[in-house]
Structure 1
Amino acid sequence: MNFLEIELNKDKKIISEDFKYRKRLIVVFIISVLVTTLLLLRLFYLQIIQNEHYDSLARNNKEQIIPIDAYRGEIYDRNGIIVAENIKTYTMYMIPVYLPKNYFEREELLYRVSKVFNIDLGHIKSSLEKVSKNSYESVEISENISMAQMSYLAERSEEYPGVYYGSKSVRHYPLGETMTHVLGYIGNISQEEFESKQAEGYRRNSVIGKEGVEQFYDKELRGIDGYVQWIVDSRNRVKETISPAIGKPIPGKKLILSIDSKIQKDAEDLIRGQVGTVIVSKPTTGEILAMVSSPWYDPNIFIGKIDRQKYAELINNPANPFWNKAIRGRYPPASTFKLVTAVGALAEKRIGVNTTRYCGGGMLLENRFYRCTGQHGYVNMYRAIQFSCNTYFYNLAYELGPNFIKRYAEMLGFGDITGIDLPGEKVGVVPSADWKRRKIGEYWWDGDTIQYVIGQGYMSATPIAVHMSTSAIINDGVMYRPHVVKEIRSSQTDEVIYNNDKIIIKKLDIDKNIFTVVKEGMRMAVSGGTARNGAWSPHIKLAAKTGTAQNAQGKDHTWVTIFGPYNPRPTDDMIAVTVMLEHSGGGGGATAGPIATAMLRSILGGENAVEARNVIYARMQYIYEQIRLAREKMKEEQENGENPENIDGEQQKEEDKKDANEDERIKYE
């Protein structure tokens, strides 16, 4: 190899190495550009796109948003007596993100909080499990801490990172058990409720109405929650509290009930110890003055820590104290339902007021004898209502048919909700031939119609439905929406926002004189019919319809639906009362009648309700005893061969027949 070739090879080698160097520089440059670009993109993402998120995280290192529960609206009765109020209490809560991140440190802190502040450790952990460990949401772990505990936590806040105290209002019902099913109660929001209402501003530690008006009007009562800002240092010490104007909570609205707490208490005293319901209202406005479902409970048991033993006793009570029987109980309405057919038959002129039917003690149909409450002879519409003559209505139902009865039952409100402002209202059954085929798979027989017309068989209704049908009759066909809340007012200005009175839900196109006939028959039931003893009132004219619903499982249920002072036309001073007693035996006039009458004598006459009831009971017992003694005397004279007052044999038979009727009437009163 010559010198020239050597030099050329050197030059080639230099060029090759230079090319490789430049190539490496280009790769390094490209990588540098890519890395720089990625860094810039990441910086743009963090600084611009995620600015709000990381700015919030940075602020939360020194700022904490503490929610403030809105003041729940108070509830008053119609006379201004407070029946649901708020009591201030102190709470302890945790913010998960500020708790120790180390598992063992976190567990040690929770254990220490449990021991020092006497809070169940399981409750603390289960409460925290509902939210993320990185959540800024406050989790309440105790709703009633003492001033000493609060002071202890304030002095040692550094030792309890993520643990704080605050204040809240706790519901209290000053009248205790009175008005239980009307008011309801409040409780902690459930997971299901939270998921469905989170968008409405509810938090995991919110309280929510569970029953009664507390539930029905929860949106109006709860208000709008506010908040404050806490500025804290690295040791979790609050250095400053900021209360922005927009964070001020807005209190809930005030409810004014149509309920009169005195009338409510009287009704409770009258039915205490029995299972049933009492409804008292003003028919011309729809205002419910009292609504009792017996037995009941004290809603204050749900405030704070629940007494498990007491709660278990209530849950296991076969009479179901939590069930508002006035709007949820479904029972055969018995003879109170006869008024429906009476209105329909007269309205369509299917029978005249004075058209008579003969009652010989019952009706024979399809080889079965359907009994009446007595042997009433020839009766027209007035006397049929007065003596609650089954035979009269048996014949009427046979002529009219079940579809006719169903149509007028629905016109008078049966088979539909009344729309009362309480949650959970149920609907009874208004049967028909189609209904029976669909639900039971059987044909409709004439015997079904016979049972239907006297409010038994497949027919069922809630007490509020029976009460409202009576109200429609009292009001000559106008039915106002029943309500337990009269007004909604502003808690800040006391301005009336809404009034529930006189909202018409139904207006029947029926001649007023038809209702007058029915009301006159109800008046005759008190003056000398099925309600003459149980609805006795010496100074106030009353009108009533009694009912006794046969029950194969036990003693009969009994009814009375009554109003006063009696007037053929509706007046604003009229009060209507419906009483239904489960398994009371006897008849509606003798069992439910004295309770309803005592209510009216108390409201309209100023008498003591319990004393008035006791007087009615004593008078009934005296009358029954006199009848018994007279019957024994007559029997003794007959056995001695005497014929009192020279009564011949045929006359004596008539007297015996009257005695038998009297026995039946007493039974059904």
Structure 2
Amino acid sequence: MKKWKAVLFLVLTLVILSACSKGPQPEERFQKYVSLWNDQNFSGMYDYLSSDAKKSITEQEFKERYQQIYESIETENLSISYEKPEEQEERKDEKEASLPFSLKMDTLAGPVAFDHRASLVKEETDDGDNWFISWNPSMIFPQLKEGDAVRISEDKPVRGSILDKNGKGLAINAVVPEIQAVPEKLGSDPEASKEAAAKLLNLTVEDIDKKLSASWVKPDMSVPVAKVDPSETELVKKVTSLPGFQKADVSSRYYPLGENAAHLTGYIGNISGEELQELKGKGYTSTSQLGKAGLEEVYEDDLRGQTGFRIYTDPSNETIAERPAEDGKDITVTIDSALQTVLYNQLKGDSGTAAAVHPLTGETLALVSSPAYNPNSFVFGMSGAAYQALTEQTGNPLSAKFNKTFSPGSVFKPLTAAAGLKAGTLNPAEVKTITGLTWKKGPEWGNYSVTRVTDAYSAVDLKRALVSSDNIYFAQAALEMGADAFKDGAAAFGLGERFEFDFPTADSSVAESDLAAKDVLLADSGYGQGEVLMSPVHIAASYTAFVNNGSMIMPYLEKKDDAAPEIWKEGILTPEQSSLILNHLISVVDDPSGTGHEPVVPGLKLAGKTGTAELKMAKGEIGQENGWFVAVNTDQPKLLIAMMIEDVKDRGGSHYVVPKVKQAFSAYLK
């Protein structure tokens, strides 16, 4: 037994000695190097370099070179593979070895893949001989030679245009005049020339000096100062008549409707450092422009296209990877430029908004907000003072209103009527006796009461309540159906759920408080006050139910080949119920006592509802009044407008809005 154990010990000893006699092998050393490379552990990789390689590059340089190159080309999915052979070559007396490896990675210019060979040399160390990598730049990329740098060039795509339903430009690429200044030609009084130009261009002298003092500027160079709207031919003549100022035609983003569609189109601008970080990996660079607001932002992914990139060596100019640019996609929307302009002109000078849709198809025909700004100013160049003035202007011109929510006031009453009809608590033919201008449920309401506009009528049915916009009737209707039925009726029109519209829009809501626990809040909600909030677009969508046999259309914005309607809420009302409400809304306009009657426009057949929403922080407080008018033409319906104007208390309330909507209908239906 002892003899057998001795033999086994001898065999094992010989095996171990045999293995040890081979010493370190290049395959094993390179396999460890590849593992470090895959982990991008560049400091660890440096330890494996040969002494000659370390003489040509320091550890810090080695680490920074890899990191800078990989980061600049946005390396992802790096994979270096080396298959160690099962049987290694006997290299007892060899001093050099060449081993194959493969590298794959994704970059901003597309995938990179190559096969290469690594050279290893045997060197003496304090611990004996070992193998080290004879590193050179070609191990990063085979095209990279000693002294070369890795460069990236951009091929910018052409941004897609935004077109209206008739193919007219809302946001396009155009040739526009650019005012340039040549420092050495500013004349004997350069300050006077700059001051005159600044005044004409709505800039400051400081704005111009900042451009002229850029590090790259030389006295004889043409320095871009500001782009100008192509329609401003007289302005261009005046500026270029000044010493040192000239015109050049350049390509630019251009918004033909200007402030008429500012909040709809939005604008593009230079990418910020924060945006660049957020969009890392999506092909943006520090020189990119992107949509900052409006449709430019909504459709950014389609409009921008794909920037082309070429990764190459410099100065040897060998291509490592290349991806051509892909131009952006043109987007055609359902907006009608003519109606957009008509509605903006009606709102100009006021703070308000309007949304227009086709009541049968759901096409969004106009989205308007006032006051506005000129989106071209953001692209052409706006002074800091001009921007500051916009931020301080009453009415917040930089913010769209058509996608925000407001108290709808009495334009909500048809929805309350629909809820009551659906719940079976409202009999449209029942005549209620309502006397006086105020009413309250009982002493538990304390000093609070519901007020109506007129007490000229004491016998009030649904038709009379809508025609005269009787707050008391609808407050009582809400109380009679109860909080649950009222909320269900509002939910049937989409209040309280996500409004899935192409243009990001705030969601409408009924109440944050418990309606069942607050009779006063429920009563107020019945006539569109309380905590009810709706966006103009959602209000317009709600009224489509009255011309579509009780089904509500979802508005859409991007043009379809087939303008078929998309039903958002089917069967909110029966066809008979929706027809009943529509006929009463016709009376709101046709009846001489109706709140939407004046002014009479011959040949114009409308159904509509006025509304005045009072904004107050507490009961009994006097607040700002916003005026509403929602209307749809009834003779072959093709236009539905919801318009709201702020602060109409001393201007006739909703009666200030009615003529503007009617004028828009007249202009469009012609």
Say if 1:42 and 1:500 are closer, same or farther in 2 by CA, change over 3 A. farther
> Mind listing any 5+ residue stretches in structure 2 that lack a counterpart?
1-94, 96-121, 179-207, 218-222, 228-248, 617-621
* Alpha-carbon distance in structure 1 between the residues aligned to 2:471 and 2:143: 78
Structure-1 residue corresponding to 2:77: none
Structure-2 residue corresponding to 1:318: 394
* Alpha-carbon distance in structure 2 between the residues aligned to 1:468 and 1:177: 25
Q: CA RMSD in A?
A: 3.6
Structure-2 residue corresponding to 1:137: none
* Alpha-carbon distance in structure 2 between the residues aligned to 1:327 and 1:363: 35
Match of 2:663 among 591, 598, 606: 598
Say if 1:516 and 1:587 are closer, same or farther in 2 by CA, change over 3 A. farther
Match of 2:275 among 193, 196, 199: 193
User: Is 1:33 paired with 2:124?
Assistant: yes
Say if 1:270 and 1:420 are closer, same or farther in 2 by CA, change over 3 A. same
Say if 1:227 and 1:143 are closer, same or farther in 2 by CA, change over 3 A. farther
* Alpha-carbon distance in structure 1 between the residues aligned to 2:278 and 2:666: 48
Say if 1:450 and 1:59 are closer, same or farther in 2 by CA, change over 3 A. farther
Checking the alignment, whether the CA contact within 8 Å between 1:411 and 1:508 is kept in structure 2 is: no
User: Is 1:384 paired with 2:478?
Assistant: no
* Alpha-carbon distance in structure 2 between the residues aligned to 1:51 and 1:39: 23
SS of 1:584's equivalent in the other structure is coil
Shift in Å, 1:84: 1.4
* Alpha-carbon distance in structure 2 between the residues aligned to 1:52 and 1:32: 20
Say if 1:143 and 1:203 are closer, same or farther in 2 by CA, change over 3 A. farther
Q: Deviations over 1:170-193 (max 9, x none)?
A: 322133222111111111222232
Say if 1:37 and 1:485 are closer, same or farther in 2 by CA, change over 3 A. farther
User: Is 1:525 paired with 2:588?
Assistant: yes
Task: Out of 531-540 and 467-476, give the one that drifted further.
Answer: 531-540
User: Is 1:372 paired with 2:436?
Assistant: no
Shift in Å, 1:301: 1.5
SS of 2:212's equivalent in the other structure is coil
Structure-1 residue corresponding to 2:98: none
* Alpha-carbon distance in structure 1 between the residues aligned to 2:565 and 2:415: 23
User: Is 1:81 paired with 2:168?
Assistant: yes
Shift in Å, 1:305: 3.7
Shift in Å, 1:88: 6.8
* Alpha-carbon distance in structure 1 between the residues aligned to 2:482 and 2:541: 24
Structure-2 residue corresponding to 1:541: 605
Task: Out of 268-277 and 463-472, give the one that drifted further.
Answer: 463-472
Equivalence map 1:246-645=2 (5 Å): 247-328=323-404, 330-361=405-436, 362-367=438-443, 368-375=448-455, 376-423=457-504, 425-431=505-511, 433-434=513-514, 444-487=517-560, 502-528=565-591, 529-534=593-598, 536-552=600-616, 554-566=623-635, 573-585=637-649, 586-587=651-652, 589-604=654-669, 606=670
Say if 1:300 and 1:449 are closer, same or farther in 2 by CA, change over 3 A. same
Checking the alignment, whether the CA contact within 8 Å between 1:526 and 1:535 is kept in structure 2 is: no
Checking the alignment, whether the CA contact within 8 Å between 2:536 and 2:642 is kept in structure 1 is: yes
Shift in Å, 1:587: 4.9
* Alpha-carbon distance in structure 2 between the residues aligned to 1:66 and 1:503: 46
Structure-2 residue corresponding to 1:118: 212
* Alpha-carbon distance in structure 2 between the residues aligned to 1:52 and 1:386: 83
Q: Deviations over 1:364-398 (max 9, x none)?
A: 32344422221212122122111112222122122
* Alpha-carbon distance in structure 2 between the residues aligned to 1:116 and 1:412: 55
Structure-1 residue corresponding to 2:305: 223
Equivalence map 1:57-68=2 (5 Å): 57-58=144-145, 61=148, 64-68=151-155
TM-score, normalised on structure 1? Answer: 0.65
Instruction: Write the letter of the residue equivalent to 1:222.
Output: R
Structure-1 residue corresponding to 2:57: none
Shift in Å, 1:417: 4.0
Instruction: Write the letter of the residue equivalent to 1:86.
Output: N
Instruction: Write the letter of the residue equivalent to 2:633.
Output: G
Shift in Å, 1:414: 2.2
Task: Out of 414-423 and 280-289, give the one that drifted further.
Answer: 414-423
Instruction: Write the letter of the residue equivalent to 1:356.
Output: V
SS of 1:289's equivalent in the other structure is strand
Structure-1 residue corresponding to 2:25: none
SS of 1:578's equivalent in the other structure is strand
Instruction: Write the letter of the residue equivalent to 2:173.
Output: N
SS of 1:560's equivalent in the other structure is strand
Structure-2 residue corresponding to 1:42: 133
SS of 1:392's equivalent in the other structure is helix
Say if 1:559 and 1:67 are closer, same or farther in 2 by CA, change over 3 A. same
Checking the alignment, whether the CA contact within 8 Å between 1:71 and 1:169 is kept in structure 2 is: no
Equivalence map 1:139-158=2 (5 Å): none
Equivalence map 1:629-668=2 (5 Å): none
Q: Deviations over 1:102-159 (max 9, x none)?
A: xxxxxxxxxxxx9998354599xxxxxxxxxxxxxxxxxx99899xxxxxxxxxxxxx
* Alpha-carbon distance in structure 1 between the residues aligned to 2:575 and 2:210: 74
* Alpha-carbon distance in structure 2 between the residues aligned to 1:359 and 1:321: 43
* Alpha-carbon distance in structure 1 between the residues aligned to 2:224 and 2:303: 20
- The structure whose RCO (Cα within 8 Å, separation 6+) is larger is 1
Q: Matched residues, percent identical?
A: 26
* Alpha-carbon distance in structure 2 between the residues aligned to 1:145 and 1:348: 62
Instruction: Write the letter of the residue equivalent to 2:324.
Output: K
Shift in Å, 1:413: 2.2
Q: Deviations over 1:346-372 (max 9, x none)?
A: 123222221111121332323444222
Structure-1 residue corresponding to 2:261: 179
Say if 1:32 and 1:193 are closer, same or farther in 2 by CA, change over 3 A. closer
* Alpha-carbon distance in structure 1 between the residues aligned to 2:657 and 2:209: 56
* Alpha-carbon distance in structure 1 between the residues aligned to 2:176 and 2:288: 15
Say if 1:79 and 1:241 are closer, same or farther in 2 by CA, change over 3 A. farther
* Alpha-carbon distance in structure 2 between the residues aligned to 1:60 and 1:261: 58
Say if 1:465 and 1:535 are closer, same or farther in 2 by CA, change over 3 A. farther
Shift in Å, 1:273: 0.4
* Alpha-carbon distance in structure 2 between the residues aligned to 1:466 and 1:452: 15
* Alpha-carbon distance in structure 1 between the residues aligned to 2:481 and 2:167: 50
Checking the alignment, whether the CA contact within 8 Å between 1:360 and 1:377 is kept in structure 2 is: yes
Q: Deviations over 1:438-471 (max 9, x none)?
A: xxxxx93322222111111222222222221112
Shift in Å, 1:231: 7.7
Checking the alignment, whether the CA contact within 8 Å between 1:79 and 1:260 is kept in structure 2 is: yes
* Alpha-carbon distance in structure 2 between the residues aligned to 1:35 and 1:378: 111
SS of 1:65's equivalent in the other structure is strand
Q: Deviations over 1:547-584 (max 9, x none)?
A: 11123465411111110035xxxx5x421011101001
Instruction: Write the letter of the residue equivalent to 2:569.
Output: K
Shift in Å, 1:321: 0.6
> Mind listing any 5+ residue stretches in structure 1 that lack a counterpart?
1-28, 92-113, 124-141, 147-166, 235-239, 437-442, 488-495, 607-669
More helix by percentage? 1
* Alpha-carbon distance in structure 2 between the residues aligned to 1:59 and 1:455: 76
* Alpha-carbon distance in structure 2 between the residues aligned to 1:509 and 1:202: 46
SS of 1:486's equivalent in the other structure is coil
* Alpha-carbon distance in structure 2 between the residues aligned to 1:89 and 1:35: 72
TM-score, normalised on structure 2? Answer: 0.65
* Alpha-carbon distance in structure 2 between the residues aligned to 1:505 and 1:59: 65
- Aligned residue pair count: 482
Instruction: Write the letter of the residue equivalent to 2:506.
Output: K
Checking the alignment, whether the CA contact within 8 Å between 2:348 and 2:370 is kept in structure 1 is: yes
Equivalence map 1:16-27=2 (5 Å): none
Shift in Å, 1:509: 4.8
Shift in Å, 1:322: 1.4
